[in-house]
Each structure stands twice: as structure tokens, then as C-alpha cells.
């Protein structure tokens, strides 16, 4: 190895390790379901984004296998050359129907959507107002566009109103866009979309909502935008196919013209091979399932409310979440890590999240209940929470 590289890696990895920032990655033996096995031991899994349990759904597995039989394992090319399969067209029509838009475009990941869509529309003559807690892929997508980035305090509508007005009235920018997560992943709070529309619409500001954690969860499954009935007011609806949908990939839903432009211009669409046939068919099956029935969605909320009530009754601080995302806020970083480790010793897999992912002094373990958990699993988890919480003096 080149000495400079060696020095760089050693110094920086040691820094992370010395500061408790180095994440040892566990390998899961078998499927990522409501229970998981790691090094031969079984855990109740409260750390996945597999909200509806679809990652191991039998109908999706069958759909994927059948598509592999009929279409093979790879798409063979980028979409614009000859990697667009009939399965991709079917998926995009289904996604547009799901989101209540004219059209949709699928990408290889949610991360890719933000790389693709923001920079296809925004450039150095434009400005983007961006909530300070937006996901990393939004931040990177904004940077890639070279537009002026204006940070807005988290869900602070007065701050948005003022900065939006300033940006438009300055006359400095050609286009202005506001970008927000639909559901914020660390606290589980929901973007104030009705107020956002009220502020942005009269000023001619485009609205871009990344609903990665809202789809399948909010709006009877259709997402946060549908929850507020604002499909006609939001220009870009971004989603992932890897969380509630259970597979992999992402999409942008919007007007036919917007989707035509993204197909003509967005770089991850033009220069990266499309979703594999098995994944594509499994995703379509998942979205159709969500449109046909709210059963999994209802089960998710049942379980989430059960877990939240249980944790609250035990005396834990579970923040102000409006969604199934359930933080248990411990505060001190070291104590948070110890708490998570003790939960794991006792068979509950919940990851700690500390600074710099969340502000200093707000360390938490983040619970992600799913539709696939049984009441017995949740009871067992609550029993462990009670024991470990008392042991570490987090609760009385
Ligand atoms: C998880 C997430 C993504 C990334 O989605 P992937 O499909 O996993 O790449 C993008 N945006 C937000 C807001 C997310 O929470």
C-alpha cells in the first residue's frame, strides 16, 4: 500500500475507535426478520426499516422467483440503452397509481433518487431551502447540483417563511426549491406539509418531499403527502423501495413532464444499470399489496402503539414521535452505548444513535417495530427494557 494511504487510514480509523465512533458491523445469519440470528444467538430485532415485514413475505418471494425464471437475474444494460424491461414499465405505472401522480421513475436506490432528481433540475443559478435534519442523500444531492443551499431550522415554519421570502425577493436565483424529509428518521416527527405548501406556493417555490420513512406507514400506506391530501401541491415525491416496501430501489413520482425530463437527463438513470427483474417484480407485488389492503399497515401501527405505551408506562422518555419510529432517549453518549449493549446481552437488538448523528446529549436507542413482530416478542422486549432500565438507573 502507498505510505500516504496507509498513514491516512491508520490515523483516521484509530481516531474513530478512540472516540467510540467506530461501528462494528454485525453479520446476520439468515433473513432480516422480526427475529435475527447473530453468531448463533437469536435476538428480537428492533433495528430494521422493514416496517411491514415484506422483506421475507412469501408472495414477494414467489413473485421474484417467477420473474427470475421468465426474465433472468440481471437487466443487462442501463435503461436508456436496452435495460428497460416490461417489468420496469409495469412497476412505474404501479408506483404512479400508488402515489396519485401522472407518472413515476424507478432508480436503483433511494439514495440514487436524490443524486438524480435534484441535480437534474437545479443548478448554480438556483437556491435550495433544506431542512437541517434532512437525510444525507438529500444533502449530497443538493451539493451535486451546485445550487445555493440555505439551511432551514428543523420544521421551523417562521424560519422557512423568512428565508423563503428573502430568497425569492432577492432576485438572485432563477428557481427556488424547498426540500424536506416526509418523516424524520431520528425522532419520528412528520414534516408540516400543509404549512409548507401555504408558505411555498404563493412564492412559486417548488416542493420536494423525500418520504422514505413515510411510505407504507403514513396515509394508510400511501405516504405522508397523501396523508395530508397534497398530491397536487408537491412537485417531487421521492420514496425508497427498501424500507416498508421491503426490497431495494427508489422512485420519484410527479408530473409526466418531470418524469420525461428525469428519463432524459438524470445521470443514475442514464449511467447505472437498472433494477434486476426479481427485485422489480417483488416491488410491484409489494406496492399492489399495499394498495389492495391496509392490513399490514394497521398491524404495524397496532404494534407500534403497543410498544410505545409499554415503554412510556415503564417511565422511559420516548420523545415526540408521530410515527412507529420510537426513540428511547437516554442522553449521555456513553450511557446510551452501554444501555444498547445491555439490551443486546439480554436478546434485544436495538442500536444506539449518538452524536454526531443526533445532537450532543440526546443519545438514544431507536426502536423500529414492524408488522411482523408478535405481541409475545414485544412483551419480551419490554420485559428486558424494564430490567436493563432499572439496572442502569434510566427508570425507577
Ligand atoms: C433511507 C433513506 C434514503 C435512502 O434510501 P435507500 O433506498 O436505502 O438508498 C433516502 N432518503 C431518506 C429520507 C431515507 O430515510
245 lines ligand 1 (CB under 6 A): no
240 lines ligand 1 (CB under 6 A): yes
Nearest residue (CA) to ligand 1, atom 14 = 212
Task: Decide yes or no: CATH 3.90.1150.10 for domain 21-50+294-391.
Answer: yes
Report the C-alpha gap between 289 and 369 in whole angstroms. Answer: 20
Which H, E and C letters describe 254-315, residue by residue? ECHHHHHHHHHHCHHHHHCCCCCHHHHHHHHHHHHHHHHCCHHHHHHHHHHHHHHHHHHHHC
Question: pLDDT confidence of 20, banded at 50, 70, 90?
Answer: confident
Residue 355 confidence (pLDDT): 86
DSSP state at residue 221: G
Burial pattern 116-134, b for ≥16 Cβ within 10 A else e, equals bbbbbbbeeebbbbbbebb
d(CA 239, ligand 1 centre) in Å:
8
The reply to whether domains 21-50+294-391 and 56-292 share a CATH topology is no
107 lines ligand 1 (CB under 6 A): no
**Beta-strand relationship, 250-254 and 326-331:** unpaired
Which residues, in sequence order, are CB contacts of 212 under 8 Å at separation 6+?
A: 110, 135, 181, 182, 183, 185, 238, 239, 240, 243, 250
pTM of the model: 0.96
d(CA 32, ligand 1 centre) in Å:
18
d(CA 111, ligand 1 centre) in Å:
5
Question: pLDDT confidence of 23, banded at 50, 70, 90?
Answer: confident
223 lines ligand 1 (CB under 6 A): no
Question: pLDDT confidence of 1, banded at 50, 70, 90?
Answer: confident
> In sequence order, what are the beta bridge partners of 328?
365
* pLDDT tens digit sequence for 201-244: 999 999 999 999 999 999 999 999 999 999 999 999 999 999 99
Residue 262 confidence (pLDDT): 98
Judge whether residue 357 has pLDDT over 90. no
Residue ranges per domain, the chain? 21-50+294-391, 56-292
Q: Which of 32, 370, 373, 98 is closest to 217 using CA atoms?
A: 370
d(CA 212, ligand 1 centre) in Å:
5
The CATH number of domain 56-292, selected from 3.40.640.10, 3.60.15.10, 3.50.50.60, 3.90.1150.10: 3.40.640.10
Number of H helices, E strands in the chain: 14, 13
- Mean pLDDT of all residues belonging to the chain: 97
Judge contact between 129 and 147, C-beta under 8 A.
no
285 lines ligand 1 (CB under 6 A): no
Judge contact between 237 and 253, C-beta under 8 A.
yes
Amino acid at each position: 500500500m502507498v505510505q500516504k494511504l496507509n498513514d491516512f487510514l491508520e490515523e483516521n480509523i484509530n481516531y474513530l475507535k478512540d472516540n467510540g465512533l467506530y461501528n462494528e458491523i454485525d453479520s446476520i445469519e439468515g433473513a432480516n426478520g422480526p427475529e435475527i440470528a447473530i453468531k448463533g444467538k437469536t435476538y428480537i430485532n428492533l433495528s430494521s426499516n422493514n416496517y411491514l415485514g415484506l422483506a421475507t413475505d412469501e408472495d414477494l418471494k414467489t413473485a421474484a422467483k417467477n420473474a427470475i425464471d421468465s426474465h433472468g437475474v440481471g437487466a443487462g444494460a442501463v435503461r436508456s440503452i436496452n435495460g428497460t424491461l416490461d417489468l420496469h414499465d409495469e412497476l412505474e405505472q404501479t408506483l404512479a397509481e400508488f402515489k396519485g401522480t401522472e407518472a413515476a421513475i424507478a432508480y436503483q436506490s433511494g439514495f440514487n433518487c436524490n443524486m438524480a432528481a435534484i441535480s437534474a433540475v437545479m443548478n448554480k443559478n438556483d437556491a435550495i431551502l433544506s431542512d437541517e435534519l434532512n437525510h444525507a442523500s438529500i444533502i449530497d444531492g443538493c451539493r451535486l447540483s451546485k445550487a445555493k443551499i440555505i439551511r432551514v431550522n428543523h420544521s421551523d415554519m417562521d424560519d422557512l417563511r423568512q428565508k423563503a421570502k428573502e430568497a425569492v425577493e432577492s432576485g438572485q436565483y432563477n428557481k427556488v426549491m424547498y426540500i424536506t424529509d416526509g418523516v424524520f428518521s431520528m425522532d419520528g416527527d412528520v414534516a408540516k406539509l400543509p404549512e409548507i405548501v401555504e408558505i411555498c406556493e404563493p412564492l412559486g417555490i417548488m416542493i420536494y418531499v423525500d418520504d422514505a420513512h413515510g411510505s407504507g406507514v403514513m396515509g394508510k400506506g400511501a405516504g405522508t403527502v397523501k396523508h395530508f391530501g397534497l398530491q397536487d401541491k408537491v412537485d417531487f415525491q421521492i420514496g425508497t423501495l427498501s424500507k416498508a416496501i421491503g426490497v431495494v430501489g427508489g422512485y420519484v413520482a410527479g408530473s409526466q413532464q418531470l418524469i420525461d425530463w428525469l428519463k432524459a437527463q438524470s445521470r443514475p438513470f442514464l449511467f447505472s444499470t437498472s433494477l434486476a427483474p426479481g427485485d422489480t417484480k417483488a416491488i410491484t407485488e409489494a406496492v399492489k399489496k399495499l394498495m389492495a389492503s391496509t392490513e399490514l399497515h394497521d398491524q404495524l401501527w397496532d404494534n407500534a402503539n403497543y410498544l410505545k405505551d409499554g415503554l412510556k408506562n415503564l417511565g422511559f422518555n420516548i420523545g415526540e414521535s408521530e410515527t412507529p419510529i420510537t426513540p428511547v432517549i437516554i442522553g449521555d453518549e456513553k450511557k446510551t452505548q452501554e444501555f444498547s449493549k445491555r439490551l443486546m446481552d439480554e436478546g434485544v437488538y436495538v442500536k444506539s444513535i449518538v452524536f454526531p448523528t443526533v445532537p450532543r446529549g440526546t443519545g438514544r436507542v431507536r426502536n423500529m417495530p414492524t408488522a411482523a413482530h408478535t405481541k409475545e416478542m414485544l412483551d419480551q422486549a419490554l420485559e428486558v427494557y424494564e430490567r436493563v432500565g432499572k439496572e442502569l438507573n434510566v427508570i425507577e
